[in-house]
A and B are shown apart, each in its own frame.
Chain A
């Protein structure tokens, strides 16, 4: 009987502590935060973080949209932020509770996916550009025209990804990379069909290995892959062409059905703090919009990387991908027509 009483008491204490500890649940991309910062947050605030990861925006979207699971903080990319705002899945952020938002460089706020900056804080950003091997090119490829240059015939790699590759072709043809009208897409298609004999391969993840091994002179890549490859091979360098490119963001948002909004706000504010953002940059490796953190890291060292610091006039010409909904199918159709050409 005594034992039972002790057990009951223990159980009560256990339940009590469970109920007392404030909790937030965070849903992030895999390997996209320095786990130490989570421990720091838990220690500082006493809020327990339940941390879960996803692999694609669509995985995350499906979980939030079916309404069965509730998270307090999520990290959707630009076009997904736009879609989730449209579908009423995000809530407006109360900036009064996120004082550290002053650390965010204003040029990265008010992007097309959230024009009023009401729903999202940028977490990381990147671009698409040309990764090139200095020993294999004659001059720095500063224009997308490089990807039509006969000199690099069978010496260039393109992305096997409809939206990205067609988007760049649209820029080359002088259109917006969000164009959906048939004429613009037809132009992009013709351009890519003409380019096809010059292309060594259409790759995705393999691009890193191939560029590191010196398989090709130039490649269309995402800046994240460029950072990785450049760390492995000193001959590689990265440039965002002068015509402009795609800029992409992963943002921090609070879902509409979040249970602990104040906890979420505290966590977001914490992530915007200079030392925390700097720590996460060192772990994740993507460019960050946090200017206070860049000071902590040493601005010169940070800006030395072409991945982190494309010229402002080029950046001004960069566009985010918009959510196209049904029109994504057009891109797929055009892409299949390009690759099935033989």
Chain B
């Protein structure tokens, strides 16, 4: 037992220093505000003006010092429509991203695990490979594809030149010389789906791959059609993978800020952008921390909801087998 404790020491230390402590700091910043210290103006013996601070120190400069006080006014500011609107948009964008990833990712995982599919690990490799590149680089590539002066627009332009009928078709529909693909919410969602898709495929693939084939064979032996055996065997058994994939896509999607800045051109700000601003340009760490706490609560509530689905499913599965 003692030995085991010793083994866990590095991780415990790591967790305390890099998880617990920062979290405490965020909570502390979130519930405090910095306000100017109080002072009184006094006249020194030589007739010059000085300032006496509340802690008794005397200085000749006008006081600039601040002190931290516990206050919940940041939370009041947070529920103003401006910030709630941004939070709702972030949730909508994240949910849409998760849904699209699921609709795209599940069939891919299913196909890859199919009995007749050749070289699934090679394909899996091809899916994971782009993820080895930095996501900023990948997002920048999408920008150069979709920009007004980008690859896609130049292809369309040369197509229009080559095929007059196509040009006519587009002109009739009021499409200008350049189609603006970037700088809107759809572009942000595209960027997120592209960046997070493999996080959906991987866990689902792993889970489906491990499903005992004898269960599927038994279903077939007992007369179940392929669609029925999918609904009764594959789907319920793959659910843990789906839930994990959903978590792995939703959580980063709801807190992202770079993708929305780059793909949305700053016109589709998400709550993550506002938080980043508080720690950067606006340097209001206290409000930034309060907003982070809000997002954390939302994410926790979401995970809780998922977890309860997982639990229910666990029970039902037991019932089905026996």
State the A residues within 8 Å of B (CB): 58, 83, 86-88, 154, 160-163, 196, 199-203, 206, 210, 213-216, 325-326, 328-329, 331-333, 335-337, 339-340, 342
Contacts and interface: CB of A to CB of B under 8 A. Distances in A.
Contacts of B261: 160
A328 B282 contact: yes
Given A160-B266, A161-B281, A216-B148, 5 more contacts: A86-B61, A200-B180, A213-B149, A215-B147, A340-B86
A332 B278 contact: yes
Contacts of A87: 61, 64
Interface residues of B, number: 33
Contact of A339 (B149, B180, B267): B267
A215 B148 contact: yes
B168 interface: no
Interface of B: 36, 59, 61-62, 64, 82-83, 85-86, 89, 143, 147-149, 180, 182-183, 261-262, 264-269, 274, 277-278, 281-284, 287
B85 A162 contact: no
B282 A326 contact: no
Contacts of B180: 154, 200
Given A58-B283, A86-B62, A202 B278 contact: no
B282 A329 contact: yes
B149 A214 contact: yes
The 3 A-B pairs with the shortest beta carbon distances in the complex, nearest first, are: A201-B265, A202-B266, A332-B282
A154 B59 CA distance: 54
Nearest to A326: B36
A203 B183 CA distance: 11
Contacts of B284: 328-329, 332
27 contacts: A58-B283, A87-B64, A161-B281, A162-B277, A202-B265, A203-B265, A203-B266, A206-B262, A210-B147, A213-B147, A214-B149, A326-B36, A329-B282, A329-B284, A332-B282, A332-B284, A333-B82, A336-B82, A336-B269, A336-B274, A336-B277, A339-B267, A340-B82, A340-B85, A342-B85, A342-B89, A342-B268
A203 B273 CA distance: 13
A153 to B, nearest CB: 11
Max chain B Cβ within 10 angstroms of own Cβ: one of A58, A210, A339: A339
Given A215-B148, A332-B277, A337-B82, A201 B282 contact: no
Contacts of A329: 282, 284, 287
Nearest to B182: A201
Nearest to B83: A336
B265 A200 contact: yes
A107 to B, nearest CB: 29
A200 B82 contact: no
A160 B276 CA distance: 12
Contacts of A336: 82-83, 86, 269, 274, 277
Max chain B Cβ within 10 angstroms of own Cβ: one of A160, A210, A328: A160
Contacts of A213: 147, 149
Contacts of A163: 281
Contacts of A86: 61-62, 64
A66 to B, nearest CB: 13
Contacts of B265: 200-203
Contacts of A206: 143, 262
Contacts of B86: 336, 340
Nearest to B286: A329
Given A160-B261, A160-B266, A162-B277, A331 B61 contact: no
A90 to B, nearest CB: 12
